[in-house]
């Protein structure tokens, strides 16, 4: 056939078998060279298997892109929140220059971000930052465009990384992923820590609270 439709074929399988079958289906697709339309509500499954992903919201296409572009460069707040884990901060735009904007956060502080999908100076924006792009910084680190403080609320050990949930600028669900290696900083619940990220890793998008 020229086209194969798969509608959530792996939904009833356990996690390990489902992941194995994802790779098998992808290998078969690559070998046969046919077009496969794969319907899934599992974002990780979509990122693993697809050459291109189409994200719908209420029947309207929000973005059609390659997996890496969809994850790294979401076009709007819906896509940023729908694909992968995402940190979200809100505020007002105070300045736009050279493709970047400055945003005063509702919870205090200000951030420089890529001006991706914003209305203009004085308007509201939602900032999107992936957890793996955020790092804990020391007092002498000055190579990051953005620095804020956060209070550690929860630590979850996940093997290859530690998932740190903290309160940042009023957002109690801000997540940082620390690699589980010999260089990871020692933190505990209740600590106040400094975090930072580059402006290129932060996208200013349409306000979801509009």
Domain count of the chain? 2
Quick check: is 210 in a domain? no
Read off the pLDDT of residues 104-122 as tens digits, 9 standing for 90 and up: 999 999 999 999 999 999 9
CATH number of the domain encompassing residue 161: 2.40.50.140
Read off the pLDDT of residues 124-161 as tens digits, 9 standing for 90 and up: 999 999 999 999 987 767 789 999 999 999 999 988 89
> In terms of domains, do 135 and 44 share one?
no
Read off the pLDDT of residues 41-76 as tens digits, 9 standing for 90 and up: 888 888 888 899 999 999 999 999 999 999 999 999
Give the number of other Cβ atoms within 10 Å of residue 200's Cβ.
13
Q: Are strands 161-168 and 171-179 parallel, antiparallel or unpaired?
A: antiparallel
Q: Report the C-alpha gap between 93 and 154 in whole angstroms.
A: 31
Give the number of other Cβ atoms within 10 Å of residue 195's Cβ.
20
Q: Can you list the alpha helix ranges (DSSP code H) found in 33-83?
A: 43-49, 67-72, 77-82
DSSP state of 185: P
Q: What's the predicted TM-score (pTM) here?
A: 0.85
């Amino acid at each position: 056939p020229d086209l194969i439709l798969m509608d959530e074929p792996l939904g009833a399988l356990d996690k390990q078998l489902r992941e194995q079958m994802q790779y098998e289906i992808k290998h078969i697709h690559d070998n046969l060279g046919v077009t496969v339309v794969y319907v899934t509500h599992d974002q990780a499954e979509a990122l693993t298997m697809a050459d291109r992903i189409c994200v719908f919201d209420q029947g309207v296409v929000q973005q059609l892109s390659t997996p890496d572009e969809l994850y790294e460069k979401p076009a709007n707040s819906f896509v940023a929140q729908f694909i992968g884990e995402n940190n979200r901060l809100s505020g007002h735009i105070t300045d736009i220059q050279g493709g970047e904007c400055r945003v005063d956060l509702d919870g205090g502080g200000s951030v420089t971000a890529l001006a991706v999908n914003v209305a203009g100076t004085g308007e509201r924006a939602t900032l999107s930052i992936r957890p793996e792009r955020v790092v804990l910084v020391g007092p002498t680190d000055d190579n990051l465009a953005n620095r804020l403080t956060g209070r550690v609320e929860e630590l979850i050990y996940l093997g290859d990384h530690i998932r740190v949930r903290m309160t940042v600028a009023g957002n109690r669900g801000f997540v940082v992923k620390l690699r589980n290696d010999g260089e990871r900083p020692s933190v505990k619940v209740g600590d106040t820590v400094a975090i930072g990220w580059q402006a290129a890793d932060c996208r200013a998008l349409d306000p979801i609270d509009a």
